[in-house]
């Protein structure tokens, strides 16, 4: 798998960063792939 951006942590900051990146990419008519990674329960 290949992504343009990988964000570690699906907390408020990580999700906000992912949303903002996608919004900016859409405004610039650019295609961007973002992956948000969160640790699973053990």
Q: pLDDT for 1-42, tens place per residue?
A: 999 999 999 999 999 999 999 999 999 999 999 999 999 877
> In this predicted structure, what is the pLDDT of residue 40?
84
Q: How far is 24 from 28, CA to CA, in rounded Å?
A: 6
| pTM for this predicted structure | 0.85
Q: Mind spelling out the 3-state secondary structure of 2-32? A: CCCEEEECCCHHHHHHHHHHHHHHHHCCCCC
Q: What is the dihedral of CA 33, 39, 40, 42, to 10 degrees?
A: 160
CB 36 within 8 A of CB 15: yes
pLDDT at 41: 77
User: Quick one: pLDDT at residue 36?
Assistant: 98
């Amino acid at each position: 798998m290949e992504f343009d951006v990988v964000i570690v942590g699906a907390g408020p900051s990580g999700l906000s960063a992912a949303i903002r990146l996608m919004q900016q990419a859409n405004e610039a008519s650019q295609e961007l792939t973002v992956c948000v990674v969160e640790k699973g329960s053990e």
